[in-house]
Amino acid sequence: MSSPRALVERFLQATVSADPGDLADFYADEVVIEMPFAAPGLVPPRTETTREQLRARFAAGRAVRHYTGLSGVRIHETAEPGTVIAEYDLHGTMLATGAPFTLRFVMVMTIRDGRIAHTRDYSDPIAGARALGRLPELVATLSG
């Protein structure tokens, strides 16, 4: 079994590889994903899901956007066994329009038995809504 840091490194590489394989395979059978900065009404701040539900979610995402690269990658090991923090910029292209985008992430990942069991994903909800063409929805949600 590889170290939690090595798993995170492989996860990030798979995210942008030409043949990304299935990112769901990096996750535990049951996983919790928290997004503390999620835009209310657009993205749930906490999701309890399964690997197979993630598989379907990732497949749907691949039909809309293609990730092309990472930059600014910094991986921090913590004093808590199995907890790794990854900072990175994720670059991609929206397939329908060809528009490029960059999303900045900080992910706090808890690894158990060689799989990601819990994440706290911190990202910019404005950049995410802009990339997905959902900025008007975000504005309406925030002003409503």
| Domain chopping of the chain, boundaries | 4-143
> pLDDT tens-digit profile of 23-40?
999 999 999 999 999 887
pLDDT of residue 61: 87
pLDDT of residue 19: 65
pLDDT of residue 79: 97
What gap in Å lies between CA 130 and CA 144, rounded to an integer? 19
In terms of pLDDT, which residue wins out, 95 or 1? 95
What gap in Å lies between CA 128 and CA 35, rounded to an integer? 12
In terms of pLDDT, which residue wins out, 92 or 39? 92
Distances from the Cα of 70 to the Cα of 7, 65, 67, 107, 117, angstroms: 16, 15, 8, 14, 23
What gap in Å lies between CA 98 and CA 112, rounded to an integer? 38
Residue 20, pLDDT above cutoff 90? no
* Fold of the domain spanning 4-143: Nuclear Transport Factor 2; Chain: A, (3.10.450)
Query: Is this structure's pTM higher than 0.85?
Result: yes
pLDDT of residue 1: 67
Give the position of tokens 């691949």: 62
Chain mean pLDDT for the chain: 92
Amino acid making up residue 68: T
